[in-house]
Amino acid sequence: MLWDNEVDSVADVTSNIEITQVLLRVRQEYEALTTRPDASQESFQWLNATEAQRLMDHLQLVLDRVEVTREQSNYVVFLKILRFLSRKYQTLPSSLIIRDVVRDGSNPLAGGGFADIWRGSIGLTHNLVCIKVLRLTIEQDEDQRDMIRKQFLHEALIWRQLKHPNVLPLLGVSSELFFPSFCLISPWMANSNIMAYLKRNPQHNLSQTFLDISSGLNYLHSRSPPIIHGDIRGVSVFDDRGQDIYKF
């Protein structure tokens, strides 16, 4: 069966039959949970946080390695299980965590309604990165902070799976750099957003810009479930060897 072949791919990556068995059991309980409301009480009581983290790490390895469409495989099932585990255990795959990121300067370069934008660098190579810092304030109660954390985990996990030339990739996240706030880390776009770029380069080929944006949006809308950007405007489109879609 196709599912069995996809599960075998987990074993291929990990060389660990135990992980394959855990995944099969998780899938069975996940399907029961989505079809039987009464199954929620007993589901996943056997899966502790450590084992859940281990399984999430291996699922992300498979999602990173396998390029498939939803009609041809159980890729979407793996992603749904990964998203479910992330919500339930309030964590992310370890491969998303970046620990050697540093910020530049003492003030953000820009800000939106819920986040500030900093420039930073990663590791010994000092590759420049954009750091999106979600705002947490002392006025927010525990429920609000919990909601922000859930939104952060959701956005990071979904963004991490996107692979398209016209969609800005997520490099990783950090919960330490601006503790207790959370950071989403992506490549730094040297040409800034398309509005600023056009002011400096009024002869820029807008036809190609629109084609690139449309290509990126079509990719987002073709995901399962579809991803709605909801904030496409000049300041959220960047020019750097093509148009990258990114939501502040």
Co-location of 133 and 37 in the same domain: no
| Whole-number pLDDT of residue 22 | 84
Let me know whether 43 and 163 are in one domain.
no
pLDDT-based confidence at residue 35 (cuts at 50, 70, 90): confident
CATH code of 173's domain: 1.10.510.10
71 pLDDT exceeds 50?
A: no
Q: How many domains are there within the chain? A: 2
Q: Which domain holds residue 91?
A: 2-95
Q: Are residues 105 and 88 in the same domain?
A: no
Calpha distance 105→87 (Å, rounded): 34
- At 75-84, the pLDDT tens digits run 788 888 999 9
Q: Would you state the pLDDT for residue 128?
A: 93
| Same domain as 107, residue 68 | no
pLDDT given for residue 83 in this prediction = 92
Tell me, yes or no, whether 85 and 172 share the same domain.
no
Gap between the Cα atoms of 24 and 150, Å rounded: 26
Higher pLDDT, residue 40 or 136: 136
Pairing of strands 172-174, 115-122: unpaired
Alpha helices in the chain (DSSP H): 2-14, 17-35, 49-65, 75-89, 142-160, 194-200, 206-221
Compute the mean pLDDT over every residue in the chain, rounded to the nearest whole number.
Answer: 82
**Pairing of β 101-103 and β 115-122:** antiparallel
CA pair distance 195, 80, nearest whole angstrom: 37
Using the predicted structure, report yes or no on whether residue 137 has a pLDDT greater than 50.
yes
pLDDT value of position 53: 94
Q: What is the DSSP letter of 181?
A: S
Backbone angles phi, psi at 153, to 5 degrees: -60, -40
Last residue of a domain, one of 75, 95, 115: 95
**What are the structure tokens assigned to 71, written together?**
């009609």
Q: Are 107 and 166 in contact (CB under 8 A)?
A: no
Average pLDDT of the residues in 97-114:
88
Encode pLDDT of 84-105 as tens digits.
999 999 999 999 999 999 999 9
Same domain (yes/no): 156, 122: yes
Q: Cα(122)–Cα(174) distance, rounded to whole angstroms?
A: 12
Of 45-49, 129-133, 144-148, 150-154, the one with minimum mean pLDDT is 144-148
> What pLDDT score was predicted for residue 236?
83
Q: Which two tokens stand for residue 44?
A: 């996943």
Same domain, 120 and 209: yes
For residue 159, pLDDT over 90 is answered with yes
Rounded distance between C-alpha atoms, residue 168 and residue 246, angstroms: 6
At a CB cut-off of 8 Å and minimum separation 6, what does 24 contact?
A: 7
Check whether residue 105 and residue 171 sit in a common domain: yes
What CA–CA distance (Å, rounded) separates 127 from 150? 29
Task: Assess whether 63 and 116 both reside in one domain.
Answer: no
Q: Is residue 80 located within the same domain as residue 139?
A: no
Domain boundary residue, one of 95, 122, 137: 95
* Closest-CA residue to 7 (of 70, 55, 71, 69): 55
- Whether residue 10 contacts residue 23, with contact meaning beta carbons closer than 8 Å, is answered with yes
The last residue of a domain, from among 45, 70, 95: 95
Residue 13 pLDDT grade (very low, low, confident, very high; cuts 50, 70, 90):
very low
What letter represents residue 50's amino acid? T
pLDDT of residue 91: 94
Same domain, 124 and 230: yes
pTM of the complete model: 0.82
Residues 238 and 246 sit within 8 Å (Cβ to Cβ): yes
Q: What is the pLDDT of residue 248?
A: 33
Do 111 and 204 fall into the same domain? yes
